[in-house]
Amino acid sequence: MVLGLLLLASAPRSAAQRPRREPTPNDALVSPEVLADHRVTFRLYAPKASEVTVAGDFGPPAKMTKDDKGVWSVTVGPLTPDFYSYHFSVDGVKTVDPKNSVIKPGISSVDSMVFVPGKEADFEDLKEVPHGEVRQVWYHSATLNTQRRMHVYTPPGYEDNSERYPVFYLLHGSGDEDSGWSTIGRAGFILDNLIAQKKAKPMLVVMPNGSLPRPRNLPRRAPGAPPPSDFAKRMAEFQGLFVKELLQDIIPQVEKRFRVRTGAANRALAGLSMGGGQTLAVVTRHPDQFGYVGVWSAAIFGDPQEFEKRNATFFESADKVNQTVKLFSISVGDQDFLLAGSKNLDELLKKHSIQHKFHISGGGHTWINWRRYLNDFAPQLFQ
């Protein structure tokens, strides 16, 4: 028999050094397992653990039970077809699913992801349609005096013509970085599907890194600790840093490096949670820069009158704002802890006759909502 080259597909890294070991129940373990009825079974081999749970954005944390081989498992659902993030807690230690390589990276944590396919998730699934590219682009930020990365989606066909495209700046939330909208956010696939169905115009989607080095005067609080008395002032200064980074570094870089159209009519801005706060900070300070604005799962904190006073110039120029901002869209889930603050924002905009849409969806402060908000928002841009 002829011996060829092996692919090494099954050779462990240090096979030469390591002795062969006995098989364990872990070897053939499958986790997660998506069942035909949309329930999902999670499994973890942890024979010595005394308590294992799985938590994620699919619902309340679930206790797992151990079999006689040391395998913990639980079945949840049925779940609505979608992408879900989850992690295990093994005697209090947070861990990703060691049997699942599909992960959601972030700046403060890593989670596992599971996809439950089905009609409801078609909008965000990898379909047989033309695909845009998602590029990692580095630039020097003068504002932050460092090198920064952004993810940029270019639509299908971008390389094949000399057309100029409008640009949608799309911001992530706290704990994520510029890759978030391309991993758990599924932005590229959502845009591919919308563009293929001619529901959305071909556009660039720029996903910057909105997580900034936290200034010394704004330390992270210990859980339960009260904020310092001038916390909001310090936070507003901190937000100003991102406003500057976006307007003076990111947009100029994009308009220099890519074939894009310029001016407010060709620029959209939206963000979730922290990114929704950043979006509001940008539009209240520079209402002439973006023709389309989305504020998702973000809110006014504290007293709305204080917010009104702080942004008096913005609220006093409703006519100008309405002329530039063709779409001002606010979305929040009815389970979101920022629901009340979002309602306050809606009320303030109403009071000052600033045209906007306010949409309360089901659900909470999760990517489940944010992907759907993107899917609803993108078709309304640049029409």
95 phi, psi to nearest 5 deg: -145, 150
Whole-angstrom distance, CA of residue 196 vs CA of residue 132: 11
| Region binding a second copy by CB under 8 A among candidate stretches 34-42, 273-281, 348-356, 372-380 | 273-281
For residue 296, what is the enclosing H or E element?
strand 292-296
Bridge partners (DSSP) of residue 179 are none
For a second copy, which is the closer residue by CB, 188 or 208? 188
> Is 220 an interacting residue with respect to a second copy (CB under 8 A)?
yes
| Region binding a second copy by CB under 8 A among candidate stretches 91-99, 115-123, 197-205, 353-361 | 91-99
> Considering only residues 29, 34, 62, 103, which one is a binding residue for a second copy as defined by CB under 8 A?
103
For a second copy, which is the closer residue by CB, 10 or 383? 10
> b vs e for 94-114, b when ≥16 Cβ sit within 10 Å of the residue's Cβ?
eebbebeebbbebeeeebbbb
> Considering only residues 63, 69, 94, 350, which one is a binding residue for a second copy as defined by CB under 8 A?
94
Cβ at position 186, least distance to a second copy in Å:
13
Whole-angstrom distance, CA of residue 11 vs CA of residue 1: 21
| Region binding a second copy by CB under 8 A among candidate stretches 29-37, 134-142, 195-203, 369-377 | 134-142
Contacting a second copy within 19-48 (CB under 8 A): 20-23, 27-28, 44-48
> Is 16 an interacting residue with respect to a second copy (CB under 8 A)?
yes
x-or-dash string of contact with a second copy, 306-345, rule CB under 8 A? xx-xx-------------------------xx--------
- The total of other beta-carbon atoms located within 10 Å of residue 263's CB is 12
Q: Are 279 and 171 in contact (CB under 8 A)?
A: yes
Nearby residues of 133 by Cβ (< 8 Å), 6 or more positions away: 153, 154, 158
> Is 239 an interacting residue with respect to a second copy (CB under 8 A)?
yes
